[in-house]
Homo-oligomer: A and B are copies of this chain.
Amino acid sequence: MLDHASALVTFSGSGGGDWIVEDIRAVVGAPLPPTERLSIETGPVLHLAQCAWSLRGVISHLRYTTRDEAALLGALQPPLGRPEATRGALIPITKSTTWWDLPQDERRAIYEERSRHTSIGLDYLPRIARRLHHSRELGEPFDFLTWFEFAPEHEDAFDDLVARLRGSEEWRYVEREVDMRLSRAG
């Protein structure tokens, strides 16, 4: 998969993707229709009529991360596609209008100084690979699509990671969240 800035990525629920959907459930708000497989494609996608649903996001620049935090993340973050990382998770979320109406300094304070979003994520590196996709500007139903990959023995750690984030002040602004767990096919 491409890793450069501003690449469009489409996650589609369909019969023919590379990832088998093991579980899909709504954490908050409306669910997504069930699907057997998930496909992940970069660039424009033309066969959407064959999909149960399709979610698009863009890989983009960091929005809250300071230089020191970015350096730590850069040193510890594993790439996607590790052979041992046969489990995946797709977590689409939407934040409330209240969140988006907050000024940048207050969103940053909630995100990191009070919710420790980056710090919590660092606790699970390099076990859990992560890539964030921005969807809000595309007029999509979710604001963000976060894709994770990890080895089966780290699924408990992943559960722990998402539970800590869901307990944070930042998550009070999440009004829709779906948690989809997957296994790499073949």
- Contact string against B for A residues 130-146, beta-carbon threshold 8 Å, 1 for contact and 0 otherwise: 00001011110000000
Q: Mark A48-78, 1 if CB is under 8 A from B, else 0.
A: 0000000000101111111101100000000
Distance of A127 from chain B, by nearest CB (Å)? 24
Q: A60 touching B106 by the CB < 8 A rule?
A: no
Q: Are A137 and B105 in contact (CB under 8 A)?
A: no
Give the residues from 96 to 116 in chain A that come closer than 8 angstroms, CB to CB, to chain B: 97, 100-101, 103-106, 108
Is A6 part of the contact surface with B, judged by Cβ < 8 Å? Answer: yes
A180 contacts partner chain B, Cβ-Cβ < 8 Å: no
Say how far A45's CB is from chain B's closest CB, in angstroms: 13
Asked whether B139 lies within 8 Å of A106 as measured between CB atoms, the reply is: no
Q: A60-B137, A137-B58, A138-B137 are in contact. Are A104 and B100 (CB under 8 A)?
A: no
Looking across the interface, which residue of chain B has its beta carbon closest to that of A140? B6
How far, in whole Å, are A145 and B136 apart by their CA atoms in the complex? 18
Q: Are A104's CB and B60's CB within 8 A?
A: no
Task: Pick from B61, B104, B134: contact of A108, CB below 8 A.
Answer: B104
Tell me, rounded to whole Å, the shortest Cβ–Cβ distance linking A176 to chain B: 15
Cβ contact of A6, chosen from B6, B65, B105, B139, cutoff 8 A? B139
Choose one: B61, B105, B138; the contact of A67 (CB below 8 Å): B105
Distance, CA A65 to CA B139, complexed state (A): 23
Taking A6-B139, A66-B103, A67-B103 as known contacts, 5 extra A-B pairs with beta carbons closer than 8 A to each other, sorted by chain A number, are A8-B139, A65-B103, A67-B105, A67-B106, A69-B103
